[in-house]
Structure formats: structure tokens, C-alpha cells
Amino acid sequence: MALFARVVMIIVLALLVTLLVLTAFLVFVADDFSALFDLVDLDEDLPAPSLIVGGIGLLVMTCTIVCLARAFWAIHRIMQRAVQDDFLKLAYQLRVCAFSIIAFWGFIQILLGPVSYALIAHIPADIRPSVDYFPFELEAIYLVLALPLLVTASALRRAAEIEEENSQFL
């Protein structure tokens, strides 16, 4: 099961990095922002913004992928036997995973909110499309997933303290 999880994580990251590279190629080489517009749920036939705005969008995409990769790395570490046998190491990796997921959610919100607005800011107000942005839609599941990880990490840290106290008595 651990091998399957690792393979899935590698495939997901490979697909996301491929999407990032192809989008960067389209933006910087072909001057085509349709992939970036599609990513933030805008019409693909909008006039192209400046390359700086496209670069900011790609930077936020990169940060999002890095946060997910860090969460995946923490999950990979959690699946290792040495980490599973040590409460403090397990608690640390769970905290890292939780905060990486929260950062992942945060960068998604930046991408869907401010970056979406920046991509259409150059369009005159009378023909500018509206951006339907609400931060607590389906993406809020990442926050819901991070909460039990933080609670479990806290409980494991406390268990490590109790284990240390018990070992001093023996």
C-alpha cells in the first residue's frame, strides 16, 4: 500500500510539473495565456495581460506545487518504519504535512483570487469579466484535512513526553 501511495504522489507531482512547464512555455514563448486563464476559471479568449502578471501567476503555481510536494514528502517520511517508531518524529512530520497542506490551500486562494483579478485588470471595466471568488468552496477540504493532522501531531507530542517521563521512572 505504501508503494502505491508513493507512486500516486510521484505521478500527481509529475503531472503538475508538466502542466506548469507547458503553461510557462505557452505564456513566455507563444505569448498565449489561455492555459493560465483556464486554470483560474476565466474565458480563454481574453486579451493577454503583461508578461509580469503571467510570471506572477506562474510563480504562485510553482509555490503551490512546492507546498504539495513538501506535504507528499512528509507523507513519504511518515510511511517509513523509523519515523513510525518514534512519536516525536511522527508528530513533526504530521505537523509539516498539515502546515504544507494549509500553505497549499493558501496559494490556491492567491491563484484564484488576486492572480485572477490581476489577469483581467488591464481589460476596460465595462467589458471586464467578473471573477466569482469565494475562499471557502471545495478547496476548504484541505483545511479540514489539515486539522486532524495538527491534533494528532499534538497528541503524539504529548505521548512522547509521557513516554519520556515513564522511562525516567524505570
Tens-digit pLDDT profile for residues 97-147: 999 999 999 999 999 999 999 999 999 988 888 888 787 788 889 999 999
Domains of the chain, residue spans: 51-164
Cα–Cα distance list, 30 to 80, 106, 108, 120 (Å)? 44, 29, 25, 19
Tens digit of pLDDT for each residue in 64-108? 999 999 999 999 999 988 777 788 899 999 999 999 999 999 999
170 band by pLDDT with thresholds 50, 70 and 90: low
For position 77, what pLDDT does the model report?
92
